[in-house]
Structure 1
Amino acid sequence: MREQQGVMPGPAHTAPGTPYLTSRPTDSARLRLFCFHHSGGSAAAFSALRGVLAPHIEVVAVQLPGRETRLRHPLPPSMADLVAEIDEHLDPFLTGPYAFYGHSMGALVAHDLISRRQARGALPPVRLIAGACRAPHLPAAFAAQHAESDDHLVRSMLDIGGLSPELLRYPDWLQAAVSLNRGDLRLCASRDTTAVAPLPCPIDVFHGTDDPLVHERDARAWADRSTVSCRVHRFPGGHFFFLRESRAAFADRIAALLRETPEPARGT
């Protein structure tokens, strides 16, 4: 879903030569946390997190096509195609210790990227943190909405807090937000959930206690997706707890988890 207007800072620019990244990772020894945004959102959702976690953790926000400085970049036709593109572009930066955080759709992108890398024997992350997302073998929350009318999609986005009512005053912006969400949700609906193998890294699941899209049992179902461990962490708030009700607690918990960083296992 799109960030509520006025909550987050302006657009994040992509790094030269790396269209999927808003900043080129440095050569430092810091652990890198790659962040994947929610549907209709953008890399700007993680701007504040970058400042909070520095200097010990380097936050690298991933920017999907079709938004902000990538408006003219079309979305790939399927989630598998998107993940293949991201794998190609990020692979040079996934050579040392790194972790993934994905929120909602972003958690599915992160999960599928790890799964792809696992299949080809690439280095996995030291940890996957999945926020506001049903387990990846379940139907993606809200994904079926991509086939609904614009009016229905707008009402649904308003109901879950993914759209500012103020945007209703600006038809062009509203249409852009609806189109962006529809494209992202179509990607989520395109996923193959029948061949999901457990991942070779710990998984931590972040769940908003009042999330209208993700029931606690569906968050806990991530336990089947790791060969190492899985823990569920609950936060006050709804689907966007990381931007609103629990912003400080969210950042603190990520910092604490990444201090637990285990040695990465080589994929087979």
Structure 2
Amino acid sequence: MSTSPANPPCLVESRRHGDIVELHLARAPVNALDPALCGDLCDAIADAVAQQARGIVLSGGPKVFSAGLDVPHLLSLGDDRAALKAAWERFFAAARALVECPVPVVAAIAGHAPAGGCVLALCCDYRVMASGPYRIGLNETQVGLVAPEGIQRLMRRVVGPYRAERLLVAGEMIEAEQALAFGLVDELVGIDEVAQRARSWLEHLLRLPSEAMLRTRTIARADMVVAMQPELIQLDHFIDAWYDAGTQQALHALVASLRK
């Protein structure tokens, strides 16, 4: 008699702290964002809201919040454009779920946050990062990719147009102290205190009259919702660039360097 395969473990751990739910990325070793993790994040956000969470903390680590998209997995898809597009759509769905979340979300960045990890952080209301030699940024140009206009808008929103231009064009990853100085993150604390500080910030916010705070938040974040719409992501153009020979060479070189 055949048996159905066991359900795979959820890659996002949910931890309840009163009115706040911490969603902890749990795909070892570096929370690389494959379709399963992105799908679980979407589900976890929806579940937290359905269970009446008044605020969410998005955490990762240790020492890596999220290393960004799972490039080896994406490269393994080869010429299957439909599968590649589906994988990227799952990632952007997770980013939109954060942007459109009806309750505040704080990123607890206990380590590095390159590329897709930085995007997830930018989609949150507030960013608490570990102090120390940890880096954050959108390094797409270093592997021959162009950050979509919508993602660039998120970066411009927090650091200003000129600073965003410099960071985006160079694909620069900056350390925590500089990220704080630029406004890319809001606070630095010790690495073991990041999640607790994120909860404390939310607890303070949640003491405000709820309806006024949430309605004001919706108005203030409307530009983020617009930024994540498909017409500002232009995924087909992004995938065209993915298959460019130079980009493929840079991506394979990146994967080779990670295996050393």
Q: What TM-score results when the alignment is normalised by the length of structure 2?
A: 0.32
Q: What TM-score results when the alignment is normalised by the length of structure 1?
A: 0.31
The structure where helix makes up a greater share of residues is 2
